[in-house]
Amino acid sequence: MSEKVLPIDGLETVYDALATAIDQAGPDKAQLFLVKLALLNANALGDAALVQQQIATAWQDL
C-alpha cells in the first residue's frame, strides 16, 4: 500500500465530508456519487494495480 498516511485530523475531515455528501446525494444517488469518487481517486492515484489492491481490501469483511 501507499507509504503516505492520512493524519487523524485529515481522516476525520474526510469522514465527515463523505458522510455529509452521501446524505446530500440521497439514497438514489449515493452509489453513483461513490463510484464517481472512486474513479476520480483512481485517476489521482494513477496506479491500476494499487486500485485493484484497494478493491480487494474494501471487499473484505463486507
Partner 1 sequence: MHQPATEARPSIYYNYEVFKPWLPSEHPQQPRHQVAIAGSGPAGMVTALELARHGVPSVVLSAELQFSQGSRAICFTRRSMEILQQVGVADRMTEGGLPWRFGNSFYRGQRVFRMEAPHDPDDRFFPIINVQQQFMEEYLHDACKANPLIDFRWGNKVNAVVQKDGYAEVEVDTPEGPYTLETDWLIAADGGRSGIRSAMNLQMEGASYEGFFVIADIQIDLPFPTERRAYFDPEWNPGNTILMHREPHGIWRVDYQLPPGETPEEALRPESLKARIDAQLAMIGHAGTPWKMDWSSVYSARTLTLPDFVHGSVIFTGDAAHLLPIFGVRGANTAFQDAQSLGWHLAYVVKGLAGPSLLKNHSTERVGAAREIIEEAGKSTRFMAPPSAGFRLLRDAVLSLSLTQDFVRPLYHWRTSRPHEYTHSALNSLGDDNALFKAGPAHGAPPQNVRLGINDFLLDHLGGGFDLLYFTDAEALPAALRSVIDAARQEGMPIKVIAVGAAQAVQGADKTLPDADGHLRQRYGVPANGAAYLLRPDQHICARWLTLDATRLQAALSTALPQ
Contacts of 42 (CB under 8 A, 6+ apart): 48, 51
- Closer CB to partner 1, residue 43 or residue 60? 43
> By CB under 8 A, is residue 32 in contact with partner 1?
yes
Question: Following DSSP, what letter does each residue of 20-47 receive, concatenated?
Answer: HHHHHHHHHHHHHHHHHHHHHHHHHHT-
Pick the piece of the chain touching partner 1 (CB under 8 A) from 4-12, 16-24, 32-40, 49-57: 32-40
- Closer CB to partner 1, residue 19 or residue 35? 35
Question: What does the binding site for partner 1 look like in residue numbers (CB under 8 A)?
Answer: 31-32, 35-36, 38-40, 43
